[in-house]
Chains A and B, each alone.
Chain A
């Protein structure tokens, strides 16, 4: 069965430090992968997506993610975190039905000053 694992429930990073959020997926074919961010009381906003091509994808707000097929991973990175990046981050894979997303449990990011 398809699944997404985000091993870190909560991460705290100092403002200005680099960030990496981990995501591992289980999927039989070439996956379509996504990262979404959710601020408190808000819906999910798409940060970036990978469908095919270059395995390093750039997103909004200075985020990037790298698809590594050999590791079944799609980790999210940002070189310098801002306090406004504090939120919950969700990794997702498009299910085999081709339309519904399967989400990880999310990683909560706190930013310390």
Chain B
């Protein structure tokens, strides 16, 4: 079975550039989550969607961050403009209905120079 697929796996770019991270959830899952992992703050929830609708975006750091889920099989997390402090590993996770755990992708390691 295909798990949660994230792309790219690694991204290195200069500050000020736009960065787009992509996620394909597990087929049939109706909830999707974006997390950020840093040494200082650990794993933080940025935003999550239920049935393609954003439910809670209180974890999004600032207006430079935006996330979309145009359909049940695709989501993006965009940072514009990017800053060095955005450097982190970004994880996407998805979850089915009922008492189901979240399944994580392998993450995107983002470095902003």
Contact = CB atoms under 8 A, between A and B. Distances in A.
B86 interface: no
A48 to B, nearest CB: 9
B56 A45 contact: no
B25 interface: no
A43 B105 contact: yes
B95 interface: yes
Contact of B101 (A43, A46, A100, A103): A46
Given A51-B99, A99-B48, A100-B48, A45 B104 contact: yes
Given A43-B104, A105-B42, A99 B91 contact: no
The secondary structure that dominates the B interface is: strand
Contacts of B101: 34, 46, 49
Nearest to B48: A100
A90 interface: yes
Given A51-B99, A99-B48, A101-B102, A43 B91 contact: yes
B106 interface: yes
Contacts of A100: 33, 45, 48, 56
B55 interface: yes
Interface in A91-113: 97, 99-106
Interface of B: 4, 31, 33, 42-43, 45, 48, 50, 55-56, 91, 93, 95, 99, 101-107, 109
Q: Shortest 3 CB-CB distances between A and B: which pairs?
A: A43-B104, A103-B43, A44-B104
29 contacts: A32-B99, A34-B101, A41-B106, A41-B109, A42-B107, A43-B4, A43-B104, A43-B107, A44-B91, A44-B93, A45-B104, A46-B101, A46-B102, A49-B101, A90-B43, A97-B56, A99-B48, A99-B50, A99-B55, A99-B95, A100-B33, A100-B45, A100-B48, A100-B56, A101-B45, A101-B102, A102-B45, A104-B42, A106-B43
